[in-house]
């Protein structure tokens, strides 16, 4: 059962009197999300102080069953790491009574985040046009595969994952003189989509006073697609593919480099390292460290030459690199200003003191330290003062708390609905230009 403190905290939020703990403190979000992109967006907003009520079915998010599990709680590390701090309530939205509960939450919420398919939302009567009519104050963020004007795919769909195969984070690995592609184990498209959604919601919250000052209702619709978010992360490639208004033939990102060479992961004597040459001047320094002959230096002195002959260059580099391990080469190259780094395991990287400072423990409801996650927005002093973050609820744990808090708070509509004559300035536009927003 939820603790009395948890009841009080949520009741205080619903009545508009929560104590500030971050820049988004006092904002209430309802998250009808599952898998990765949606929950990651919700967790980023929670880390900035927002309270997130996550809607699940009685079976819970499918990621709750993804191993490995924590030893004491049996909690999926995958699920917990992207659902920290959220409050879970279980609803069957095919049921009218449960849809009424969601409606009551949306009446009070500041934003609604969801990543169901457009068809599913329409059938449940939560399409974006319906939301705009029923809850005009609400910031409504829909995560999908292709966008609202694209296909009817939701964010998690096999076709979308296949479509994103070339922009989901491939790496180029050079071994034995051969450059090959290695698919990244990190779901970059999902995570960047989650970040885009969180940024869109935060931006809409910041802009709400201005919209209301113009006589608008404060609501907004944010359309976030995995395809668009992924393309936004590779502007240099998209720009080259459409240069001068023409569609040019740009190879998949996992093929041979067409911009910077050498740039990738290289095998050394007993380990691997990344080498990222960003200019001809840097290559000259690398060639000195690897003891290239004058003829070899001249042969690869310009980036155009290196791109055209990169297979031969990689073979030559591997011959040189095989003499020492990655740590020794890294010291030599860094001394002269070559961008490089030994390839580290996750465990090795996490042992770095500067990384340790950016972690925050995730605590179970029993007070056990489950694992650590990275702190969001390290410059946010309010958040950095938090010693830990609460792990996700068991399925439906907060349902009774939410229902009771709604009853006790006796809310009459969103707190940002103008309801009184007292006005306050908003923003840094100056006394004459600053929009006026009603308190209440």
| Burial of 393 per CB tally in 10 Å (0-12, 13-18, 19+) | buried
Tell me if 254 is assigned to some domain.
Answer: no
Same structural domain for residues 142 and 280?
no
Predicted local confidence at residue 250, as pLDDT: 53
Same structural domain for residues 94 and 211?
yes
Tell me if 258 is assigned to some domain.
Answer: no
| Burial of 143 per CB tally in 10 Å (0-12, 13-18, 19+) | buried
Predicted local confidence at residue 411, as pLDDT: 47
| CA distance linking residue 114 with residue 106, whole number of Å | 12
Same structural domain for residues 211 and 101?
yes
Domain boundary among 319, 343, 367: 343
Length of the chain counted residue by residue: 440
* 172 close to 142: Cβ distance less than 8 angstroms: no
Query: Roughly what angle, to the nearest 10 degrees, separates helices 399-409 and 96-108?
Result: 60
Residue 384 belongs to domain with CATH number: 3.40.50.10540
* 30 close to 106: Cβ distance less than 8 angstroms: yes
Q: Which two tokens stand for residue 358?
A: 């950016």
Same structural domain for residues 104 and 134?
yes
CB proximity list for 120: less than 8 A, separation 6 or greater: 154
| CA distance linking residue 338 with residue 359, whole number of Å | 29
Nearest to 37 by CA among 108, 130, 115: 115
| CA distance linking residue 82 with residue 61, whole number of Å | 12
Predicted local confidence at residue 351, as pLDDT: 76
Tell me if 115 is assigned to some domain.
Answer: yes
Same structural domain for residues 119 and 208?
yes
pLDDT tens-place values along the chain, 440 residues long: 456 666 666 766 665 665 557 788 889 999 999 999 999 999 999 988 888 999 999 999 999 998 888 887 788 998 999 998 899 999 999 999 999 999 999 998 999 999 998 888 999 999 999 999 999 999 999 998 877 665 444 444 444 444 444 443 344 445 554 545 454 556 778 888 999 999 999 999 999 999 988 988 889 999 998 878 877 877 776 777 676 666 555 554 444 566 789 988 899 998 899 998 989 999 999 999 999 999 999 999 999 999 899 889 999 999 999 999 999 999 999 999 999 989 887 777 777 776 777 777 888 877 888 888 876 654 444 444 567 888 888 899 889 888 887 777 554 434 443 332 222 223 322 333 333 333 33
**Beta strands 139-144 and 220-225, pairing class:** parallel
Same structural domain for residues 25 and 59?
yes
User: What's the number of domains the chain is made of?
Assistant: 2
> Which pTM value belongs to this model?
0.75
| CA distance linking residue 134 with residue 168, whole number of Å | 37
Tell me if 193 is assigned to some domain.
Answer: yes
| CA distance linking residue 362 with residue 371, whole number of Å | 6
Tell me if 348 is assigned to some domain.
Answer: no
Domain boundary among 289, 310, 343: 343
Residue 331 belongs to domain with CATH number: 3.30.1540.10
Same structural domain for residues 206 and 316?
no
Same structural domain for residues 80 and 129?
yes
Tell me if 367 is assigned to some domain.
Answer: yes
Domain boundary among 323, 343, 363: 343
Query: Which residue segment(s) compose the domain that 366 sits in?
Result: 4-170+185-232+353-438
């Amino acid at each position: 059962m939820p603790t009395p403190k948890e009841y009080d905290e949520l009741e205080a939020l619903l009545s508009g009197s929560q104590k500030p703990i971050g820049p988004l403190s006092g904002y209430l979000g309802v998250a009808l999300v599952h898998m990765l992109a949606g929950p990651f967006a919700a967790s980023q907003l929670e880390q900035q102080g927002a309270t997130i009520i996550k809607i699940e079915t009685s079976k819970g998010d499918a990621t709750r069953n993804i191993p490995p599990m924590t030893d004491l709680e049996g909690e999926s590390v995958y699920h917990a790491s992207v659902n920290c701090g959220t409050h879970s309530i279980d609803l069957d939205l095919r049921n009218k009574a449960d849809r009424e509960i969601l409606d009551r939450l949306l009446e009070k919420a500041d934003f609604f985040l969801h990543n169901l398919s457009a068809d599913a939302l329409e059938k449940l009567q939560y399409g974006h046009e319906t939301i705009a009519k029923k809850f005009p104050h609400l910031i409504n963020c829909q995560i999908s595969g292709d966008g609202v004007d694209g296909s009817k795919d939701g964010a998690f769909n096999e076709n979308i994952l296949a479509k994103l195969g070339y922009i989901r984070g491939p790496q180029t690995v050079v071994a034995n003189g051969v450059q090959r592609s290695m698919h990244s184990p990190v779901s970059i498209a999902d995570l960047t989509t989650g970040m885009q959604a969180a940024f869109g919601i935060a931006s809409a919250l910041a802009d709400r006073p201005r919209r209301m000052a113009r006589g608008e209702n404060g609501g907004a619709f944010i359309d976030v697609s995995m395809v668009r978010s992924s393309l936004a992360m590779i502007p240099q490639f998209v720009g080259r593919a459409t240069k001068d208004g023409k569609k040019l033939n740009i190879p998949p990102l996992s093929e041979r480099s067409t911009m910077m060479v050498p740039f990738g992961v290289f095998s050394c004597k007993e380990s691997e390292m990344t080498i990222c040459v960003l200019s001809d001047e840097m290559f000259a320094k690398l060639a000195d460290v690897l003891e290239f002959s004058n003829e070899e230096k001249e042969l690869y002195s310009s980036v155009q030459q290196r791109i055209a002959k990169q297979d031969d260059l990689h073979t030559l580099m591997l011959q040189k690199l095989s003499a020492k391990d990655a740590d020794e080469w890294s010291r030599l190259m860094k001394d002269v200003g070559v961008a490089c780094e030994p390839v580290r395991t996750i465990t090795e990287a996490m042992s770095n003191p500067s990384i340790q400072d950016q972690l925050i423990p995730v605590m179970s409801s029993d007070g056990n330290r489950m694992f650590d996650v990275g702190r969001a927005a390290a410059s946010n002093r309010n958040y950095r003062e938090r010693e830990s973050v609460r792990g996700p609820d068991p399925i439906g744990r907060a349902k009774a708390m939410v229902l009771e808090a709604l009853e006790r708070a006796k809310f009459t509509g969103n707190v940002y609905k103008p309801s009184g004559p007292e006005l306050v300035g908003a923003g840094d536009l100056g006394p004459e230009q600053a929009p006026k927003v009603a308190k209440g």
